[in-house]
Amino acid sequence: MCSPASRPWSSSPRSSAASASRLPALLLTFFWLRFLGREGWRTSVLVSVGVVAAFYAIFVGALGVPIPHLF
């Protein structure tokens, strides 16, 4: 069973800090696809969100690796 602190959908202050720590990865992926890769807006947004969600699911959800928080 998941503890409340490990659920990404909870509304605790810890989860909002965890969301803020994923923001740089999301922005970097979006910037890379949109401006360096010259992909469309929709593709850039969808792939960026998908990549960050997949890495989070693999490393935090499946493997239990903690992510360092920025804030």
Asked if 24 and 70 touch (Cβ cutoff 8 Å), the reply is yes
pLDDT tens per residue, range 6-35: 555 444 555 565 677 788 899 999 999 999
Asked if 48 and 29 touch (Cβ cutoff 8 Å), the reply is yes
Distances (CA, A) of 21 to 1, 42, 62, 68: 24, 23, 19, 8
The percent of residues in the chain predicted with pLDDT above 70, rounded, is 72
- Give the predicted TM-score (pTM) of the model: 0.67
Residue 4, C-beta contacts closer than 8 angstroms, at least 6 positions apart = 10, 12
Residue with tokens 């990404």: 8
